[in-house]
Amino acid sequence: MTRQLVTDTQNTWCPGCGNFSIQHTLKNVFAAMEEEGKSLDDVVLVSGIGCHAKIVDYLNVNTFYSIHGRTIPVATGIKLANPNLTVICCSGDGDSYAEGLDHLIFAAKRNIDITVLIHNNRVYGLTTGQYTPTSPLGFKGKSTPSGTAEYPLNPIELMLASGATYVARGYTRKMDQLKNLVLEGIAHKGFAFIDVLQICATFFPVSDYYSSRVYELSDHNRTDFESACTKAREWDYNSDAKIALGTFFERSLPSFDEKMGQHRINAAERERAIQEFLITRT
DSSP assignment of 148-210: --SPPP-HHHHHHHHT-SEEEEEETT-HHHHHHHHHHHHHSSS-EEEEEE--BTTTB--HHHH
Binding status of residue 207 toward ligand SF4 by CB under 6 A: no
**Please, which residue, 203 or 249, has the CB nearer to ligand SF4?**
203
Instruction: Give the Cα separation of 33 and 69 in Å (integer).
Output: 28
**243-250 and 166-171 strand pairing:** antiparallel
Q: Which of 201, 206, 217, 229 binds ligand SF4 (CB under 6 A)?
A: 201
**Please, which residue, 155 or 190, has the CB nearer to ligand SF4?**
155
Residues 43-82 binding ligand SF4 (CB under 6 A) are 51
Instruction: Give the Cα separation of 194 and 104 in Å (integer).
Output: 12
Binding status of residue 200 toward ligand SF4 by CB under 6 A: yes
Binding status of residue 127 toward ligand SF4 by CB under 6 A: no
**Please, which residue, 117 or 160, has the CB nearer to ligand SF4?**
117
168: β partners: 194, 247
Q: Please measure the distance between the N-terminal and C-terminal CA atoms of the chain and give it in whole angstroms.
A: 58
Binding status of residue 196 toward ligand SF4 by CB under 6 A: no
How far apart are CB 15 and ligand SF4 at their closest, in Å?
A: 8
Instruction: Give the Cα separation of 176 and 49 in Å (integer).
Output: 26
**Please, which residue, 51 or 243, has the CB nearer to ligand SF4?**
51
Binding status of residue 171 toward ligand SF4 by CB under 6 A: no
Q: Which of 7, 60, 127, 202 binds ligand SF4 (CB under 6 A)?
A: 202
Binding status of residue 203 toward ligand SF4 by CB under 6 A: yes
Q: Provide the residue type at 167 as one letter.
A: V
Residues that bind ligand SF4 (CB under 6 A): 13-14, 17, 19, 51, 121, 125, 200-203
